[in-house]
Amino acid sequence: MDHKIDIRQLSLEELTKKMVELGEKPYRANQIYDWLWKKRAIAFSEMTNLSKPFRKLIEDNFTINAVQLKEAQKSKDRTIKNAFLLADNAVIEGVLIPTKKRMTACVSVQVGCSLDCAFCATGKLKRVRNLNADEIYDQVVMINNQSKKDYDIPISNIVYMGMGEPLLNYKSVLMSIERITSPNGLGMSPKRITVSTAGISKMIKKLADDKVKFNLALSLHAANDDKRNKIMPINESNSLSSLKEAMIYFVEKTGIRPTLEYIIFKDFNDEISDAKELVQFGKSFPSKVNIIEYNSIDQGKFQQAQKDKVDTFASYLESHKVIVNVRRSRGKDIDAACGQLANKNELVN
């Protein structure tokens, strides 16, 4: 088994080269590629228009490390949380979030996370490894199939907001999006994809230089360096001034209006003074704000802000011509809400 190549790690050019090395015609690579990405085959036996001898040849030389569904939990609000089993027995989580207007797949990019944000369950896990592009792709395919099966409608949106920091797995994230948006893949519009980052200034600039077409969300949660340092250690090396500069650069290069995500915590960042700082941060570039209801985690020290405080906060932003969306929690009863994704048995010491 060890000598076999994970075929989905190869580009079309690399796969073509391998076919020639095996004494096959170059067009064979296109046939396989079509099965892998457009028809979403996860076994060589599914490639029915290939001859049995050729299927045996590729099976002898390659493997498909497909992601498997380990467990699915359905919330009372119809949200479905999935535990996905990877080929190396690692477990990640992905969520189907149904609303009246859209069906969203929330996918993970790492096994664990290294950022240790104080309010996030995933941050309590150690980072084991980055996911490959095909492992991210598989989550999307499986959640899409789940959406069609359970709700008779395909997914309309994808958010890279599950476990891990997307910009610390840059190559695989961009490759997965290329597969998802390609006509030879899922053919989804990049405008329906949002990548969320805790804020890595140089990588935000790299997104701009690479002229990405998908949406960007910055997990801000405080527009004050002292406060942000307390809840997001990454701010110590990526200050708000450097993030502001990176976001201005991103908007100028791509023309895309990013989202500022703001989890609102009781007695921490829910005052009008906090709202003023948020307005000040966001006024340098076109943006919109998602105010996110906090979801408690085990051993968490934060609490959900009171509804009237949230409403007052949002009203202040709107009075300063900020586009605001207050996001209510989904899937909270099954720990599927924002900040709650974590393989539970990993958190028990």
Summarised one tens digit per residue, pLDDT across range 182-237 is: 998 999 999 999 999 999 999 999 999 999 999 999 999 999 999 999 999 999 99
Tell me, what's the pLDDT at 302? 84
Q: Is there a catalytic annotation at residue 117?
A: no
Summarised one tens digit per residue, pLDDT across range 307-328 is: 999 999 999 999 999 999 998 7
* Candidates 59, 71, 93, 346; catalytic one: 93
3-state secondary structure string, the chain? CCCCEEHHHCCHHHHHHHHHHCCCCCHHHHHHHHHHHHCCCCCHHHCCCCCHHHHHHHHHHEECCCCEEEEEEECCCCCEEEEEECCCCCEEEEEEEECCCCEEEECCCEECCCCCCCCCCHHHCCCCEECCHHHHHHHHHHHHHHHHHHHCCCCCEEEECCCCCHHHCHHHHHHHHHHHHCCCCCCCCHHHEEEEECCCHHHHHHHHHCCCCCEEEEECCCCCHHHHHHHCHHHHCCCHHHHHHHHHHHHHHHCCCCEEEEEEECCCCCCHHHHHHHHHHHCCCCCEEEEEECCCCCCCCCCECCHHHHHHHHHHHHHCCCEEEEECCCCHHHCCCCCCCCCHHHHCC
Higher pLDDT, 181 or 77: 181
Summarised one tens digit per residue, pLDDT across range 269-298 is: 999 999 999 999 999 999 999 999 887 765
Going from the C-alpha of 52 to that of each of 79, 119, 143, the distances in angstroms are: 42, 53, 31
- Name which of 10-24, 212-226, 299-313 the model is least confident about: 299-313
- Residue ranges and CATH numbers for the domains of the chain are 5-63 (1.10.150.530), 68-347 (3.20.20.70)
**pLDDT of residue 103 exceeding 60:** yes
* Candidates 106, 113, 117, 338; catalytic one: 338
pLDDT category of residue 105 using cuts at 50, 70 and 90: very high
Q: Model-level pTM?
A: 0.90
Q: Is there a catalytic annotation at residue 93?
A: yes
Tell me, what's the pLDDT at 111? 93
Task: Supply the mean pLDDT for the chain.
Answer: 90
Tell me, what's the pLDDT at 1? 44
